[in-house]
Amino acid sequence: MKLFKKIGGYFKGVLKEISRIRWTSFKDLVKYSVATLSFMIFFSVFFYAIDLLIALLRSNL
């Protein structure tokens, strides 16, 4: 019986902690997602261009 009390207490604590969380607003979530995707695309193109440049330089040597 003590085991069930401990499990119940654990889940009460979890619910208490979840209620303290400050969730991100949808507007901020979209803003941060767009920023992240923009950086990923920028750096992908940047490193692809660097790789292409190095490959072209090596093939001409």
pLDDT band at residue 1 under the 50/70/90 scheme: confident
How many whole angstroms separate alpha carbon 16 and alpha carbon 12? 6
pLDDT digits (tens, 9 = 90+) for 11-59: 999 999 999 999 899 999 999 999 999 999 999 999 999 999 999 999 9
* Confidence at residue 60, expressed as pLDDT on a 0 to 100 scale: 80
The secondary structure of 21-54 as a DSSP string is --PPPHHHHHHHHHHHHHHHHHHHHHHHHHHHHH
Give residue for tokens 């072209």: 56
Q: Which has more confidence, 2 or 41?
A: 41
Q: What is the DSSP letter of 1?
A: -
Per-residue pLDDT at 61 exceeds 80: no
Cα separation, 26 vs 19, whole angstroms: 18
The phi and psi torsions of 23 (rounded to 5 degrees) equal -80, 145
